[in-house]
């Protein structure tokens, strides 16, 4: 599933699902992954839900490991983009639910459509990020500035210094029970960086 594809095999002409019409339903588009020859078609242009692209032809699926072929439940029509704030979402996810932190002077916050749901899990934000090109923006923030993966690696030539969603794999001994640490390498293809996650207080 993807919110964009390419019209040409050379991947020069980008085409977004939001710009598609019913007339585009039988047109074959190209997967954003230049190594994947999946035949992408527009879905959901009937107005009942947000349009998206999918490789829904049995004989032309995504190659194994293609990030655009992974299960993705992101539906743009269910979320209010104007109310999304990446930093606030990450902060809320890392704050224990039983404690409430109040600021002396509340900062400005975004308001949005109350009929649409907010992002509540890392998976929801991850699926959103994987649906767009890293150079695209969501609520004014570049996708590549929210997720570190094979596509956005070029945006991090010297390291990752702020909170980001990291797509990586286990490196060597995945879990060190003595240090209570988990080590992963990212991005998946280059394994350029190593990240160590440890339990608080360890």
Asked whether residue 68 is domain-assigned, the answer is no
pTM metric for this prediction? 0.78
Asked whether residue 163 is domain-assigned, the answer is no
Q: Determine how β-strand 141-142 pairs with β-strand 147-148.
A: unpaired
The verdict on 48 and 86 lying in the same domain is: no
Counted domains in the chain: 3
The verdict on 25 and 88 lying in the same domain is: no
Q: Determine how β-strand 141-142 pairs with β-strand 137-138.
A: antiparallel
The verdict on 114 and 174 lying in the same domain is: no
Residue 84: predicted pLDDT: 94
Residue 99: predicted pLDDT: 46
The verdict on 128 and 174 lying in the same domain is: no
Asked whether residue 138 is domain-assigned, the answer is yes
Residue 103: predicted pLDDT: 47
Which residues neighbour 84 within 8 Å (Cβ) at sequence distance 6 or greater?
A: 110, 112, 118, 119, 138, 139
Report mean pLDDT in 10-residue bins for the chain, 202 residues: 93 94 94 94 82 91 86 85 92 69 51 78 93 94 96 95 91 80 90 84 46
First to last CA, the chain: 40
d(CA 113, CA 26): 33
Asked whether residue 87 is domain-assigned, the answer is yes
Asked whether residue 103 is domain-assigned, the answer is yes
Residue 110: predicted pLDDT: 56
Domain that holds residue 130: 76-158
Which structure tokens are listed for 18?
């939001």
Asked whether residue 94 is domain-assigned, the answer is yes
**Structure-token match 């929801």, residue found:** 124
The verdict on 152 and 178 lying in the same domain is: no
Which residues neighbour 117 within 8 Å (Cβ) at sequence distance 6 or greater?
A: 78, 79
Asked whether residue 187 is domain-assigned, the answer is yes
The verdict on 174 and 151 lying in the same domain is: no
């Amino acid at each position: 599933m993807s919110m964009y594809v390419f019209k040409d095999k050379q991947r020069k002409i980008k085409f977004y699902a939001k710009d598609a019409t019913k007339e585009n339903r039988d047109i074959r588009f190209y997967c954003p992954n230049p190594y994947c020859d999946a035949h992408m078609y527009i879905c959901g242009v009937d107005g009942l839900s947000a349009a998206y692209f999918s490789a829904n032809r049995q004989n032309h699926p995504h190659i194994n490991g293609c990030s655009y072929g992974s299960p993705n439940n992101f539906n743009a029509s269910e979320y209010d983009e104007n109310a999304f704030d990446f930093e606030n979402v990450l902060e809320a996810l890392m704050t224990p639910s039983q404690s409430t932190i109040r600021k002396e002077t509340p900062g400005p916050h975004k308001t949005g459509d109350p009929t649409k749901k907010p992002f509540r899990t890392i998976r929801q934000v991850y699926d959103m990020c994987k649906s767009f090109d890293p150079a695209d923006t969501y609520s004014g923030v570049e996708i590549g500035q929210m997720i570190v993966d094979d596509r956005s690696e070029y945006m991090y030539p010297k390291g990752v210094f702020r909170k980001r969603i990291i797509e990586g794999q286990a490196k060597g001994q995945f879990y060190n029970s003595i240090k209570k640490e988990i080590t992963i390498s990212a991005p998946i293809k280059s394994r350029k960086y190593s990240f160590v996650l440890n339990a608080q207080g360890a």
